[in-house]
Each structure stands twice: as C-alpha cells, then as structure tokens.
Amino acid sequence: MDIIIKDLCKSYGENTVLDSLNAVIGKGKITCLMGPSGEGKTTLMNILMGIEKADSGAVENMPQNKSAVFQEDRLCESFSAFTNVKIANDSLADDTIISHLEQVGLGDAVYQQVSTLSGGQKRRVALVRALLAEKDILFLDEPFKGLDEDTKKIVTGYLLNNTADTTVVMVTHDIDEASALGADVLYLKDGKITL
C-alpha cells in the first residue's frame, strides 16, 4: 500500500517547519523530496523514520523495516568499509559485500579503514550499507553528496539496479538526479508539498 501522510505539523518553538503537510509516497517507487535548504526535508524524513515526533497528523502504511543513508554518514570510522556493511546485516555473504562495494567503485578500498576514506568514498559506503540491510523501505538524505558527475552516474545506475520494487524516499537538490532515477518528485516549501 502507498504511504499516506496526513496533515503533518511540526514546529520548533516559533519556527513552523511542517504546516499541515499532505503527501502520498508510492509503494515500490522512488520518490524524490526536493526544496530549498532549511525547509524541512530532513525533518520530514526523520518523522517518517520515527526518529522525531510530529506535533500532530498521521503517517499511514509505513513499513516496519527501515534502512537509511542519513544526512551525515554515521559510519563506524575505525572499521573498514567491508565491516561497516557486514555489521548492518551479518547474514550477508562476504562475496556479496565485496561485489557491491566494487559496483560503486570501491573495489580498492574494501578493507580500508573508513577514517582514511574521502568524503565521496564514505558516502558510497553508507549507501551500500543501507542498500544491503534488511528493509522494506529505504530513506536516502542527499546520498550523492560529494560525488563528481561521473561517479554520480555510476552510483545512480547502482541504485536503479538494486532497488527494483523497493520503496525509496530520497532527498536531493538536483532535478536531473530525480529524472535519471525516474522518480516521483515532491517539492517542499512553506511547510507543504507544493508539487
């Protein structure tokens, strides 16, 4: 079933961030959440994930098993790329983890300590970790942050190849990314979805 967001409100003190927001997120589809900085995209994602509480309103049909790339990487810096993926889902075969890291261009960095990776390399580790975790819905908050155009293309292909029939909610500032993913677009402005 599609996820239905009904009359969601969220304020921080005097700052009204979500103002009776309504939206539908299609089951098995990719939905891109767009809108200017500071308008509440991450706040909405956090409410959908259950990390933050809305002041009022409802979210219906949200699946139980959630996986995420947060706005920050939130990796275990002293562990390798491989171990970061493994600890999120220890039923994974080692070959699967290595293959996925290779698919995003991290074949040479599989056993490298995360603290020694570049920003864009860390971002890809976070993406593989989220994608290989057990889940019914995937939340991605600016997953391509720090990637150059060529790497972005590789990672877009990786995402498309590995999210068939998965419900994905992704924050991006780039309409071309949304188009490349064939995503539905929700535009957040003044506390509401306007598109």
Least distance to ligand ATP, CB of residue 66, Å: 18
**Which listed range, 55-63, 66-74, 85-93, 175-183, lies at the site for Mg ion (CB under 5 A)?**
66-74
- Residue 37 contact partner, candidates ligand ATP, Mg ion, none, CB within 5 to 8 A by sort of partner: ligand ATP
42 lines the binding site for Mg ion (CB under 5 A): yes
**Which listed range, 5-13, 28-36, 67-75, 125-133, lies at the site for Mg ion (CB under 5 A)?**
67-75
- Residue 191 contact partner, candidates Mg ion, ligand ATP, none, CB within 5 to 8 A by sort of partner: none
Q: What is the DSSP string of 160-190?
A: HHH-TT-EEEEE-S-HHHHHHTT-EEEEEET
Beta bridge partners of 10: 18
Least distance to ligand ATP, CB of residue 163, Å: 22
**Which listed range, 38-46, 144-152, 159-167, 175-183, lies at the site for Mg ion (CB under 5 A)?**
38-46
CB nearer to ligand ATP: pick between 41 and 122: 41
CB nearer to Mg ion: pick between 85 and 178: 178
CB nearer to ligand ATP: pick between 48 and 138: 48
Binding site for ligand ATP (CB under 6 A): 12, 15, 17, 37-43, 71
Q: Which of residues 71-90 bind Mg ion (CB under 5 A)?
A: 71
CB nearer to ligand ATP: pick between 40 and 104: 40
Least distance to ligand ATP, CB of residue 38, Å: 4
Return all residues near 79 (Cβ < 8 A) that are at least 6 apart.
87, 113, 114
- Token reading at 155: 């990672």
Q: Which DSSP letter does residue 115 get?
A: G
Do residues 58 and 48 make contact, with C-beta atoms less than 8 angstroms apart?
no
E strand or H helix that includes residue 21: strand 15-25
E strand or H helix that includes residue 44: helix 41-49
CA 107 – CA 102 distance, rounded (Å): 4
Return all residues near 189 (Cβ < 8 A) that are at least 6 apart.
35, 36, 39
Helix, strand or coil for residue 100?
helix
